[in-house]
Amino acid sequence: MSNSPVHPRRGLMLVVSSPSGAGKTSLSRRLLGDHAELELSISCTTRGPRPGEQDGREYHFIDRAKFDVMIEQDAFLEWADVHEHRYGSPTAPVMAALADGRDVLFDIDWQGARMVAASAPQDVVRVFILPPTMADLKRRLHARAQDAEDVIERRLGRAKGEIEKWTDYDYVIVNADFDQAFAELAHIYHAERLKRMRNPGLEPLVQALLNEPL
């Protein structure tokens, strides 16, 4: 897809949530890789980096004091306590991207999804990723081998509470097969981009079509 649209458009906020291990991050990264006009909202977190994670790429890794200063400064579009740590989406880069006609993807939990949707209901599209079975979720968390056993157990313990929030979302994808789930996510994104209200820049084209003599 082109990075410089011919017609000015209104950017959207694509919120993707799931219990840990349902494949949301891999699906999101692939969508981002395929679309230069879609950028990731890089969250701040007070948790430490996992092996392979880089500050400023997956997250901005900051301490609790810095996080709380950012809350006081109203620097977050949303923030929440998740798995005993704080996570938040900084507002400024999101606003800059949207003002530039780009779209923003959020890999955030249901609490954040609610807050972002409340702040801009027209511009938010919410997608929930379900695992096909709980056994599959457990297997993926272990296969990822990035977390200690007690962390995995805590994440599994929270999974059902997160799954219960699926009714908040506009779309739901069951990630039984990665390629299929990715195709579904891409279809949702492409269709949402084509919504009439997101393409006010088409007005002159429509006027020109209507004014053209037959």
- Using CB under 6 A as the criterion, which residues of the chain lie in contact with ligand 5GP when the complex forms? 20, 43, 47, 78, 80, 82-83, 87-89, 107-109, 111-112
User: C-beta of 13: minimal distance to ligand 5GP in Å?
Assistant: 13
Query: CB nearest ligand 5GP: which residue?
Result: 112
C-alpha 132/C-alpha 173 separation (Å) is: 10
Task: Compare residues 20 and 175 and give the one whose CB is closer to ligand 5GP.
Answer: 20
Backbone angles phi, psi at 106, to 5 degrees: -115, 125
H or E stretch covering 129:
strand 124-130
Residue 160 Cβ vs ligand 5GP, minimum distance, rounded to whole Å:
14
**DSSP class of 88:** E
Cβ closer to ligand 5GP: 108 or 125?
A: 108
Distance in angstroms (rounded) separating the CA atoms of residues 72 and 165? 28
Nearer to ligand 5GP, 5 or 93 (CB): 93
Q: How far is the CB of 76 from ligand 5GP (least distance, A)?
A: 8
CA distance 97 to 150: 38
Surface-to-core class of residue 211, CB atoms within 10 Å of its CB (0-12 exposed, 13-18 middle, 19+ buried)? exposed
Residue 43 vs 175, nearer CB to ligand 5GP:
43
